[in-house]
């Protein structure tokens, strides 16, 4: 069993000075090299060195998140912080004195596109610290690691902007996700399909442990390391599982808890039209967080079978497949944990948690989009939901825009707002009549309030991210900040940025997204 000695260490505080200005007392727990993780030992990670990023500069800083992490209010405004979050703390003697951290990269394996890929690991990511409260800071793009598989360990500006914007957008939509603390750029050129400039993203999460970490040790038949890893995760994040009387039951309850969190996350993905694009087991968080924003997409026209990641030739990771793929990935996790659970029936029962929780979460999420809160929605509403999704799919109606217009039909008692989106309006009329019959006895203000909290006006549409990227590549970061302003409050009306809420232009369909980053 992993024992957390963190509370017994570092009982004193140090005073740190940045740019000659005393900031405040900081607990060394923030500056320690992710103590809780490194105490697990060498099989789980390797100490690594970041690679210097030439002449780094700020692109965007997340002051609100820094404050939530307990960092000084002006911490992101200092040159030493820029060096730290660009990965240059080893190259700068000044920074090395105030940030005595040896980064770590973890090892994991996984199934990629349904095929066992063997050992993978943090190829372009490294942990650099753990803040008070247990949140980890990880740099993505700070150089190669032993797990880079001949890669350069760098991230490019294009994909880093997309991950920063989307992770923050998802958080403010109420969807569990990693967060973005900062984005640093450089004129350093790296080669992908074409030469691109490098960037380093600082991202934050309670843990970046994936299904693939468990698969790695299970497939190696290293059951001792597997148990050490499971005990560590359970003690830190699933302590309720420790109440089980039998050792094996602890691990089956752990699997059930992961299924529960994953089901809730996937249901929220489906409700907002988010497509991850590459749901490999090494991209699945053990905490039910949205992890690794690669070829993701927020649906414009509702096309559940749209293949938008050109690496996904068979459409394995389309919107329509996400719920079942998550279950498949959980099966892989269950197989990895079976040496600890030692009971096939208990393992199967734990997996059933996913089906049960997802079914109810789907009903509640989509019921709320229709204005039916959790006390109002019933199993009898499922056909109404599925019929509507079929209509949207048949005509590829803009998904986010439709829900806004449906609310407007109720607000104005005028069906044309939603009806005019359809070519075959008679089909909508049939559904709409059933919908009005369903809600006629309910309080209109309550319906509109529920819809307003469940249907975002603003999402990170692909073309909006592309515009921000193209401007940023020319040195103009204003579009990133404007997008963040509305994405931080996606359910409100922002009159200055009303165009951000409108359906995507025709040219948006030509944007190609790949796994390259």
| Active centre residues (catalytic) | 282
Instruction: Pick the closest to residue 119 from 145, 143, 139, 153 (CA basis).
Output: 145
Instruction: Name the β-bridge partners of 61.
Output: 182
Task: Dump the DSSP string for 222-270.
Answer: -HHHHHHHHHHHHHHH-GGGGG-SSHHHHHHHHHHHHHHHHHHHHHHHH
The Cα–Cα gap between 30 and 27 comes to 6
What Å distances lie between residue 142 and 54, 56, 252, 398, CA to CA?
Answer: 11, 11, 37, 38
Instruction: State the Cα torsion 54-68-490-439 to the nearest 10°.
Output: 150
As beta bridge partners, residue 47 has 104
Provide the pairing of β-strand 125-130 with 21-26. Answer: unpaired
What are the helix (H) ranges across 3-53?
A: 28-31, 35-38
All residues at 6 or more sequence positions from 46 whose CB lies less than 8 Å from its CB, including other chains: 104, 105, 107, 145, 146
CA angle 372, 503, 290 (to 5 degrees): 65
Tally of CB atoms within 10 A around 19 = 12
CA distance 101 to 113: 36
Distance in angstroms (rounded) separating the CA atoms of residues 153 and 146: 10
Pull the structure tokens for residue 326.
């998550």
Contact status, residue 126 vs residue 142, Cβ threshold 8 Å: yes
- Tell me the β-bridge partners of 115: 112
Show the DSSP H helices in 39-156 as ranges: 63-68, 79-85, 93-98
């Amino acid at each position: 069993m992993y024992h957390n000695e963190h509370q017994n260490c570092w009982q004193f505080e140090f005073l740190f000075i940045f740019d000659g200005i005393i900031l405040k007392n900081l607990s060394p727990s923030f500056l320690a090299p992710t103590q809780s993780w490194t105490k697990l030992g060498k099989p789980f990670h390797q100490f690594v060195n970041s690679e210097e990023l030439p002449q780094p500069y700020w692109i965007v800083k997340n002051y609100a998140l820094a404050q939530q992490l307990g960092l000084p209010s002006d911490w992101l405004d200092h040159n030493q912080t820029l060096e730290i979050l660009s990965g240059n703390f080893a190259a700068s003697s000044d920074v090395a004195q105030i940030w005595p951290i040896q980064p770590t990269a973890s090892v994991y394996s996984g199934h990629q596109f349904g095929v066992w890929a063997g050992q993978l690991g943090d190829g372009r990511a490294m942990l650099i610290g753990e803040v008070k409260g247990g949140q980890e800071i990880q740099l993505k793009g700070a150089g190669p690691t032993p797990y880079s598989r001949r890669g350069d360990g760098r991230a490019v500006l294009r994909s880093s902007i997309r991950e920063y914007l989307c992770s923050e957008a998802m958080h403010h939509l109420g969807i569990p996700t990693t967060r973005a603390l900062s984005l640093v750029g450089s004129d350093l050129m790296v080669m992908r399909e074409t030469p691109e400039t490098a960037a380093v993203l600082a991202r934050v999460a309670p843990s970046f442990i994936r299904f693939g970490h468990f698969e790695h040790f299970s497939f190696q038949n290293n059951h001792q390391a597997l148990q050490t890893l499971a005990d560590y995760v359970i003690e830190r994040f699933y302590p309720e599982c420790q109440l089980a009387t039998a050792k094996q039951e602890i691990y089956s309850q752990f699997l059930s808890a992961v299924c529960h969190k994953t089901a809730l996350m996937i249901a929220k993905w489906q409700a907002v039209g988010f497509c991850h694009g590459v749901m490999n087991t090494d991209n699945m968080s053990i905490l039910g967080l949205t992890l690794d924003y690669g070829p993701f997409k927020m649906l414009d026209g509702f096309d559940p079978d749209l293949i938008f990641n050109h690496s996904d030739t068979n459409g394995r990771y389309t919107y329509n497949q996400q719920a079942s793929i998550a279950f498949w990935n959980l099966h892989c996790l269950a197989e990895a944990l079976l040496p600890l659970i030692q009971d096939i029936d208990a393992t199967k029962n734990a997996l059933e948690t996913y089906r049960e929780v997802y079914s109810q979460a789907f009903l509640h999420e989509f019921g709320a989009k229709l204005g039916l809160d959790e006390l109002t929605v019933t199993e009898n509403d499922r056909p109404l939901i599925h019929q509507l999704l079929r209509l949207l799919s048949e005509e590829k109606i803009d998904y986010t825009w439709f829900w806004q217009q449906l609310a407007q039909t109720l607000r104005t008692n005028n069906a044309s707002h939603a009806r005019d989106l359809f070519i075959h309006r008679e089909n909508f009329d049939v559904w709409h009549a059933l919908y009005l019959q369903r809600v006629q006895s309910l309080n209109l203000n309550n319906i509109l309030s529920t819809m307003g909290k469940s249907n975002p006006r603003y999402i990170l549409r692909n073309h909006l991210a592309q515009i921000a990227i193209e401007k940023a590549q020319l040195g103009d970061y204003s579009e990133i900040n404007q997008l963040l302003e509305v994405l931080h409050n996606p359910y409100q009306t922002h009159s200055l940025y009303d165009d951000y809420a409108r359906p995507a232009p025709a040219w948006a369909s030509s944007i190609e997204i790949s796994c390259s980053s």
